[in-house]
Chains A and B, each alone.
Chain A
Amino acid sequence: MDESKEKIPLFKSWTHWYVFVLAFLALLIILFNLFTKAFS
């Protein structure tokens, strides 16, 4: 399949998808850190 003709779901480009996945990971780490502090 020609990569340039790909229809990307939800976002405009794959770069947006990648940023979303990495930002979600960062958010999880922050939330886990708060969780650790709240219950330690």
Chain B
Amino acid sequence: MTQLDWIILIVTLAGIITYGLYKSRVTHNLDGYLLANRSMPWGLVLLSIMGTQASAITFLSAPGQAYTDGMRFVQYYFGLPIAMVVICIFFVPIFSRLKVYTAYEYLENRFDNKTRALTSFLFLLQRGLSTGISVFAPSIILSSILGWDIYLTNILMGGLLIIYTLSGGAKAVAYTQQLQLIIIFTGMFLAGYMVVRLLPDGFGFTEALHAGGSMGKLNVITTGISNGKFNWSDQYNLLSGIIGGFFLALSYFGTDQSQVGRYLTAKNLTESRLGLLMNGLVKVPMQFLILLVGVLVFSFYQFHRAPVFFNESLAARAAKTEYSSQLARIDSSYKNTIASIPGWRQQIQHSNPGNENEMEDLEKKIKLANATADSLKKEYKKILAKAIPGADTNDTNYIFIRFVVDYLPEGLVGLLIAIIFLASWGSIAAALNSLASSTMVDFHRRYSKKQIAPEKEFWISHWYTLAWGIFCIIVAMFAYNIGNSLIEAVNVLGSLFYGVILGVFLVAFFMKKITSGSIVFMAALLAEIIVLTVFILTKMNYFKLGFLWLNPIGAFGVIIFSSLLHLFSLKKQSPAV
């Protein structure tokens, strides 16, 4: 990074912290600290919802995902608009009417305290761990690419935002998220623009799309059907996106306090609904555009020789091992394989439009070269895994940032590094605020034997925010020592618990005859056992199933077990004839 990059990075981050502190000065009570005095307009609610969902990995990983696997990842978001509608109809009016601080408070009104405590505990468990990973995941990428110390990067990534989150609570979180998203979108647009600018003369946006499309990168819609059968292990297709994505989004936006806490800050029901519905309108196009940047980067590398492995610091470590000669041999073959692609692309560009055969022949050559390059990359990763056991050989998250650091002009690099920080801060700050809310309201206040003064509650919430912030940084530090397996585990952690939590809420909303908290509590435990069993069986390769399907299994599990236990209890109560 140059001096200009450093200045832009430091000024942007310091500006956000100062702005957050400035907005904090009017927060003096618990309602203000946890829910911004329920005063936010829909625009801020929308940006806060988006800023909470979009972490740094969204902006780092999505372009890399499109580069390697194409744009089909966008289907993962197809269930989201449907979930927004369902939440607006059934969830928001109840939360709004009861004036709850947390979603789980409602479950005590509807069932009993233990059901509330169970769901809140599951939330704290998975959100606390996943927020720690949200600190670690971008930190490890930045430290690898820029050579920064990982522990210091973790502290910067997870620590600086605590300053304004601790002082201003929900209001500071919402206002900083607004500014963060404006900077993020500006930076991503500039990055997309620069990719097209850096393409060779005569090769513009449309040509880049054709180049990506011919290599299968514009596979936005896929059916998941192969050889006449639906592939249940296929992660991203139309059906899994709509059904699995719907349940995941319904659980996340309807029952995860980090999101519920955002729309509870709205000044009334209308503003909450508008914020959520607008999210349903803009989220899918936004993800489409971020993925499109990845396809443009792919087309760019058709002319600029992509490295065999994008995480160069890991490759450099492997080069110092006994496997260095094997890795060098593969790297050399890879370079030879892709060397002709730019020339063939230029030939297609300048060939006579009437000469279809020549163009087809060139396209075939490019496809073959790319396919060979892909298999060499796989071979390289296999050797890399042997050279450094336990290392993360998936370089998808490094593709976009490598391009930024290597090819974008001075200043823009600093801005895009700042974006990684801001995107992280937006989601982590909201998570810390919601973790503090649930701990304070669902446990501390609920189980405190003495009446706590409002002023004291306000200050205790500050301590919980700080404590969760420190917890998340500690998780990030441990993640580095434990390695990649933990990250993978935490990535699916949400799907292990979300479905069950959603199931409890669905029973609460739609099965009015079930009033016993004990029945729902038992059903939730049984459904959780089923979800964990299915997950373990898939990990042991007994059968294959995409992790998104765990959400509907958990939700329907609670509904089915609740119904059965309810029927059983009715039979027990009714006298024998």
Contacts and interface: CB of A to CB of B under 8 A. Distances in A.
Interface residues of B, number: 32
Given A6-B270, A25-B284, A40-B213, A14 B218 contact: no
Contacts of A7: 270
A35 B221 CA distance: 9
Contacts of B216: 40
- The residue in B81, B84, B88, B210 that gathers the most chain A C-beta atoms within 10 A of its C-beta is B81
Given A21-B277, A21-B281, A25-B81, A32 B270 contact: no
Interface in A12-40: 14, 17-18, 21-22, 24-25, 28-29, 32-33, 35-36, 38-40
Given A17-B277, A40-B213, A33 B221 contact: yes
A1 B429 CA distance: 29
A8 B268 CA distance: 12
Interface residues of A, number: 22
A33 B220 CA distance: 7
Given A24-B81, A28-B284, A32-B74, A18 B270 contact: no
Given A9-B270, A18-B88, A25-B81, A40 B280 contact: no
B78 interface: yes
Interface in B250-291: 268-270, 273-274, 277, 280-281, 284-285, 288
Interface in B483-540: none
Q: Interface centre among B219, B220, B274, B281, by most A CB within 10 Å? A: B220
A24 to B, nearest CB: 6
B268 A35 contact: no
Nearest to A7: B270
Contacts of A22: 81-82, 85
Contacts of A9: 270, 274
Interface in B118-154: none
A16 B89 CA distance: 12
B218 A36 contact: yes
A26 to B, nearest CB: 10
A1 B270 CA distance: 9
Contact of A1 (B78, B89, B268): B268
Contacts of B88: 14, 17-18
A32 to B, nearest CB: 4
B220 A36 contact: yes
B269 A6 contact: yes
Contact of B218 (A1, A24, A40): A40
B89 A18 contact: yes
A30 to B, nearest CB: 9
Contact of A3 (B214, B238, B269): B269
Contacts of A25: 78, 81-82, 280, 284
Given A6-B269, A39-B210, A32 B81 contact: no
A29 B78 CA distance: 8
B285 A29 contact: no
Nearest to A24: B281
Contacts of B224: none
